[in-house]
Structure 1
Amino acid sequence: MIQKVRVAIYARVSTEEQAEYGYSIDAQLDTLRKYCELYSREIAGEYVDRGVSGKSIEGRYELQRLLLDAKDGKFDEVIVWKFNRMARKNIDLLHIVDMLEKNNVAFRSFSESFDTSTPTGRFALQMMGAVSELERNTIVDNVKMGHKHRAKTGKHNGKVPLGYRSVKVDLRGRESKIVIIEEEAAIVRNIFEQYSAGHGLKAIANNLNHRGHKTRIGKPFSTCAIRDILDNPMFVGKIRYNRYENWAERRRKGKTSELILVEGHHPAIVSDEMWKKVQLLRQKKSSMPKKRFEGEYLLTGLIRCPECGAAMTASRTVNRAKDGTKIVRMYYSCGRFRSQGSSVCHANSVRKDEAEKAVTERIRQAVTQPHILKKVVRSINEHRSGRIKPLRDELAAVQARIDKLEEKKLKYLGLYEMDEIDRDLFAERLNDLNRELDTELTRRSKLELELRDDQAEPVSYELVRSLVGRFDTLLHRSPFPQRKTLMHLIVKKITLDEGKCVDSVELAFNEETEKHFLSVAPSAELNAEGAFPFGKAPTLKQKLSIVI
């Protein structure tokens, strides 16, 4: 008897696609199920990402589950309605298909009628992926062109800053105008006045936070928030656009020379004279030499403030002894205090040398004293097993909410079929229910992935000893730039106790860091228990967090 081909069905739709083009998950699934039935293929599983963009794998928990199941050999083929359901970019699509092929899993598209089990199919995939990406980029360029035209005519694109609100001026909601919110505008004027009077960014943020003011998104003011307000020409009645290209990918590296700066149709919040005065001060201060701390700070951003939990940053004090000698002391201080002031947190400074010595010594003790590491391994496995019940309980609660939402959908469908609810109200309510359902289904996928990791086989002492041992050896042998890179790759966070001493060091290992940065096993000078002997190191097959 010929064994049926085992097929995994993958479907995806983003919120925008569903709203604009009417793409339907149910229609995709129905089509692919009928295809499998027609060609006598066995459906091994269905993987559905609802309301999720195809920009990357991150956040697409069903795709992540599919790739894990491909490694476990649970199916022979993956089928999608259209290949752009798998990825928006050609390079991402080819990467995913390559991962499938390494596990002897073919990739097939229903609409484009090709599969990657043949050379012709692989070639067609590459060509059609390139054409699809060209079409998408053309649409993106057209949208950008429309935004540029709006900007050139003095109209604002996107969200408005503090002090303004966008209001609709026609019934269809296609036209809007920007109006001033006077309560917020007063804060903006105060920021400009304080800066023009000589106050610095931190002093202004501290002042506003002490008075209980918040940013547009409800957070305390930081030096970055103050700077962005002072540098935004919208407050003087102008529209600025096209400072950066591809912000989502290139960030500030994508700065362009084609800046659009025109008079806007919206009212100004600050006067032209105040704006010019502030910009003169901003330019003057930008040319001043920035503070440069002497010394090498190994743990910047890794140590957490014992009071608020924020990352601690480099700081120093300079004093003079009685004989006139300059004394420089280096510290790690709370980052929120440094950017938002004393209303949010306090300095909570710790000596740089003491903190770095305590962290490296903590790692060394874990290597040289086996009983410490064995306790850590026991704690890891107990934590993993202890997490399973809460995760299962949460998964059951999520499933109950999903079932309840499905029941509501059927109820509204029944009312609509009996003409007891009008079409517009039915469509509106159905859209609301589908949005809630997408959220719960995504949450279910994430929980199932977490449960899958936690139910894996227990972590072995040999594996943990190997990882921590290699990390410790490289830390002691490497120059500062490499040590800092290793620290930021492996150390997730360092917590302090109430006495501002190192409380715990959390290390996070994964396949990539283990392969590329910890691949050389150090040879032990002493053959004592706890020292990692020279030889083949145990291989890490999953993400692993260790608290020492």
Structure 2
Amino acid sequence: MSIQIYTIYPDIIKKETPLELQKLRIAAYCRVSKATPELLHSLEIQMLHFNTIITENPNWTLYKVYSDVASGTRKTGRSGYCEILRDAKQHRFDYIFVKSLSRFGRDTLEALSTIRRLKSMNIGLLSEVEKIDTLKIDDASLSILFAVAQEESATKSENIKFGIHQRMREGKALLNHTRFLGYTKDAEGQLVIVPEEAEIVRKIFSLYLEGNGVRKIKRYLEEHGIRTVTGKAEWSTSTIDRMLSNEKYMGILLLQKTYTPDFLTGKQKKNRGELSMYMIEDAHKAIIEKEVFEAVQKKKRWSTSCK
């Protein structure tokens, strides 16, 4: 079965589309998966790109550019996606312009179902990468294109994972967070101590060794007006518990403690031996001495075994 691909650049649509159909209201949808500086910049560029393409076409009218910073595998957290579908029901535009099929949705069944609903309302999806117009392609061909796009996404995911694993084997740290209590990042992305926060960390470890559980430590911190790293007055016992087990406080990085088995769901699982872990000693300056950290771990194990 051959697949017909329809080029959808503005000048070509102008030539191929009957005159009475050229005056189109166009919406655009952009998405990035995470709120990193690089991806947020990419999102801004995407939005500007579509704004320019649509407004420069005399036969098109820009309705709105919708956007999301979220995974493409589900509707949860995709307020822009939900808004564009609500506006589609009101028929406020004729086409939705996207960079690629995977930007619209990575769950093939969900995306195909949505495209079918849009087609039933005579609203099409224009994909720049695949160069298709969903109003001019049958469901079988569209399914194949989505399968190809999904396979390319999987390949890209595996390539990214390979690069990450290679950097781990070379002892190069990959830290997702900008900062956590006691540390921040310098210009090179390395962890550096925040002195006043480091004192709070030491106090938490000290209180625990003195026989205080996480609930008592929580109460101590709140009663003394000590705030969390995000400035909150209320502490979480789970946060305190994780701090007491965080090997970074003794200058060690343990990489790949979690992993993502399925790129489509994006859900992380705790690594219980499924993949190799990489430990980097003296990765940065320690806040807690190794003996103190190990004493806390021993006490935690003893507390757990006695429950």
Could you say which TM-score interval applies, normalised by the shorter chain?
Answer: 0.7 to 0.9
Matched residue of 1:12: which SS? strand
Counterpart selection for 1:234 from 245, 248, 260: 248
> Structure 2 regions of 5+ residues with no counterpart?
1-17
Match of 2:216 in 1: 203
Contact 2:24 2:95 in 1 (8 A): yes
Contact 1:109 1:115 in 2 (8 A): yes
Separation of aligned partners in 2, 1:32 and 1:215: 46
1:276 aligns with 2:294: yes
- Which aligned pairs between 1:83-482 and structure 2 lie closer than 5 A? 83-117=101-135, 120-152=137-169, 153=171, 155-159=173-177, 160-168=179-187, 175-219=188-232, 220-246=234-260, 249-251=266-268, 253-257=269-273, 258=275, 259-289=277-307
1:522-543 deviation per Cα after TM superposition (whole angstroms, max 9, x unaligned): xxxxxxxxxxxxxxxxxxxxxx
When residues 111 and 227 of structure 1 are mapped into structure 2, their CA distance, relative to the original with a 3 A threshold, is closer
CA shift, 1:230, in A, is 0.5
Match of 1:541 in 2: none
Q: TM-score, normalised by structure 2?
A: 0.73
Separation of aligned partners in 1, 2:43 and 2:78: 21
1:67-96 deviation per Cα after TM superposition (whole angstroms, max 9, x unaligned): 223334455554445434423453443242
When residues 213 and 233 of structure 1 are mapped into structure 2, their CA distance, relative to the original with a 3 A threshold, is same
- Give the letter aligned to residue 101 of structure 1: K
Contact 1:239 1:261 in 2 (8 A): yes
When residues 117 and 70 of structure 1 are mapped into structure 2, their CA distance, relative to the original with a 3 A threshold, is same
Counterpart selection for 1:69 from 65, 71, 87: 87
> Percent identity, aligned pairs only?
25
Matched residue of 2:259: which SS? coil
Contact 1:151 1:240 in 2 (8 A): no
- Give the letter aligned to residue 135 of structure 1: E
Separation of aligned partners in 2, 1:167 and 1:80: 37
Give the superposed CA RMSD. 3.5
- Give the letter aligned to residue 198 of structure 1: G
- Give the letter aligned to residue 133 of structure 2: D
> Structure 1 regions of 5+ residues with no counterpart?
169-174, 290-548
CA shift, 1:124, in A, is 3.6
Higher relative CO (Cα under 8 Å, sequence separation at least 6) belongs to 2
Bigger CA radius of gyration: 1
Separation of aligned partners in 2, 1:83 and 1:264: 45
- Which aligned pairs between 1:518-533 and structure 2 lie closer than 5 A? none
1:31 aligns with 2:53: yes
Separation of aligned partners in 2, 1:284 and 1:92: 48
CA shift, 1:129, in A, is 2.7
Q: TM-score, normalised by structure 1?
A: 0.44
Contact 2:68 2:80 in 1 (8 A): no
- Give the letter aligned to residue 223 of structure 1: T
When residues 221 and 29 of structure 1 are mapped into structure 2, their CA distance, relative to the original with a 3 A threshold, is closer
Contact 1:231 1:279 in 2 (8 A): yes
Q: How many residues align?
A: 276
4+ residue runs of structure 1 moved beyond 6 angstroms?
none
When residues 204 and 78 of structure 1 are mapped into structure 2, their CA distance, relative to the original with a 3 A threshold, is closer
Whose helix fraction is larger, Structure 1's or Structure 2's? 1
1:19 aligns with 2:32: no
Match of 1:10 in 2: 27
CA shift, 1:128, in A, is 2.9
